[in-house]
Amino acid sequence: MTLTDKFGRPITDLRISITDRCNYKCVYCRTGNEGALYGDLPFDDYLRMARVLVSMGVTKIRLTGGEPLLRKGVVEFVRDLAQLRAPNQNGSGSDRDSDKDPLDIALTTNGHLLADLAQPLKNAGLTRVTVSMDAVDPDRFTRITRVPNGYDHVLAGIRAARRAGLWPLKVNCVLMRGFNEDQIIPFGMFAREEGVTVRFIEFMPLEEDRTWTPNTVVTLDEILARMAEYRPLVEIPHARSETARRYRFDDGVGEIGIIAPVSHPFCGHCSRIRITSDGKIRTCLFSVWDHDLHAQMQQGASDEELEDFIRGVIQKKEERHHIGEPDFVPASRTMVHIGG
Ligand code: SAM
């Protein structure tokens, strides 16, 4: 079964934010306040939402936040998700679980608590992890995250994930002019030394402080030009639905990716929907409204009624974002309260 929006885009990729609390206060994301705005739900509620969406065609689930590893019970939740089976991609149409594909279950984390959780998460059925890390220089890292001594924890988390076999292991770096654009080449070296894929992300206007301007964005072209000063890059062909453009270094050692939603938008191939920590569906990061799936559940909706609700919501998925255009309207939530 496929879930398709009105522009013909298959919706296969679900992101669930399991809390909007975060233990970091990254300058491009948070104001520096402590609190969560929306709270979170019992894991059983997310599990039911996931089960219904998987039965409708979702094949990938990514847990995010806030910081998802702050939630007690995350390992058990992954174990429960891993019991779900994705509809078979070869179109056999079989209803037997043994004929279906395992779900791809990924996690986006700041890595601070990952060192102790990587192996339990892998054992529970987690397939992949992406660690956010915005500097390879410890002092710069502290300046960006506004939390002391985080760098060593995150590095230990990355190495523990690699040992646990959470592969491919990706490290995401948001570049913001004036903060960390000088980290581009050091991250190229890091990718080669640590054997991870480093992906640079263009800064989007989703921050709590509303500091974004076009000039704060370090673009794909700039990143490529800077990296080429270090070593030549060779582009790797990528699937159209992949958000990142991929490159390897000319000697075959190390891979980097660039996610360029501002300078090279990929909305036409977007396959994602998101569920916020308080159970709302968001059809685009830049949506100005959300759709209350949890309220439907509280009102006693059956699984079939939830499916109808979801199908209606998917038809409202936005065609594209309008970043940098005169008619741009800021999203109704910032990144930390959506789930990136
Ligand atoms: N706490 C987890 C983490 O740090 O990965 C998960 C949530 S965090 C909101 C998810 C991702 O969104 C991180 O990679 C973060 O760097 C990115 N992010 C946050 N604000 C952003 C912005 N304004 N533009 C681009 N990426 C952003």
What are the 10-residue block averages of pLDDT along the chain, 340 residues in total?
92 97 94 83 98 96 97 98 78 58 93 98 98 97 94 98 96 96 98 97 94 95 97 90 91 96 93 97 96 98 98 96 91 93
How many whole angstroms separate alpha carbon 47 and alpha carbon 73? Answer: 13
Residue 282 Cα to ligand 1 midpoint, Å, equals: 16
Residue 274's beta-bridge partner residues?
15, 282
Provide, for the chain, the percentages of residues in helix, strand and coil under a 3-state DSSP scheme, each rounded to the nearest 5.
Answer: 35, 20, 45
Residue 284 Cα to ligand 1 midpoint, Å, equals: 15
CA Rg value for the chain: 19
Report yes or no: 83 and 100 within 8 Å, Cβ to Cβ. Answer: no
How many whole angstroms separate alpha carbon 257 and alpha carbon 89? Answer: 27
Identify which of 208, 24, 197, 183 has the alpha carbon closest to the alpha carbon of residue 110.
24
Residues 30, 31, 35, 40: is their CA dihedral positive or negative? Answer: negative
Q: What is the pLDDT of residue 101?
A: 75
Asked if residue 172 has its Cβ within 6 Å of ligand 1, the reply is: yes
Alpha-helical segments (H) within 217-284: 220-228
How many whole angstroms separate alpha carbon 148 and alpha carbon 209? Answer: 21
Report yes or no: 166 and 128 within 8 Å, Cβ to Cβ. Answer: yes
Residue 339 Cα to ligand 1 midpoint, Å, equals: 8
Asked if residue 27 has its Cβ within 6 Å of ligand 1, the reply is: no
Is beta strand 13-17 parallel, antiparallel or unpaired with respect to 272-275? parallel
Asked if residue 198 has its Cβ within 6 Å of ligand 1, the reply is: no
Q: What is the pLDDT of residue 91?
A: 53
The string of pLDDT tens digits covering residues 118-175 is 999 999 999 999 999 999 999 999 999 999 989 999 999 999 999 999 999 999 999 9
How many whole angstroms separate alpha carbon 292 and alpha carbon 278? Answer: 9
Angle ∠(163,167,169) on CA atoms, nearest 5: 90
Give Cβ neighbours of residue 268 (< 8 Å, ≥ 6 apart): 7, 9, 320
Q: What is the pLDDT of residue 85?
A: 79
Q: What is the pLDDT of residue 166?
A: 96
Give Cβ neighbours of residue 217 (< 8 Å, ≥ 6 apart): 175, 177, 202, 203, 262, 263
Mutate to test the pocket of ligand 1, among 132, 199, 272 (most ligand atoms within 8 A of CB): 132
Residue 6 Cα to ligand 1 midpoint, Å, equals: 28
Asked if residue 28 has its Cβ within 6 Å of ligand 1, the reply is: yes
How many whole angstroms separate alpha carbon 68 and alpha carbon 20? Answer: 8
Q: What is the pLDDT of residue 35?
A: 73
Q: What is the pLDDT of residue 102?
A: 82
Q: What is the pLDDT of residue 159?
A: 98
Asked if residue 67 has its Cβ within 6 Å of ligand 1, the reply is: yes
Q: What is the pLDDT of residue 98?
A: 58
Q: What is the pLDDT of residue 233?
A: 96
Q: What is the pLDDT of residue 92?
A: 53
Residue 197's beta-bridge partner residues?
170, 255
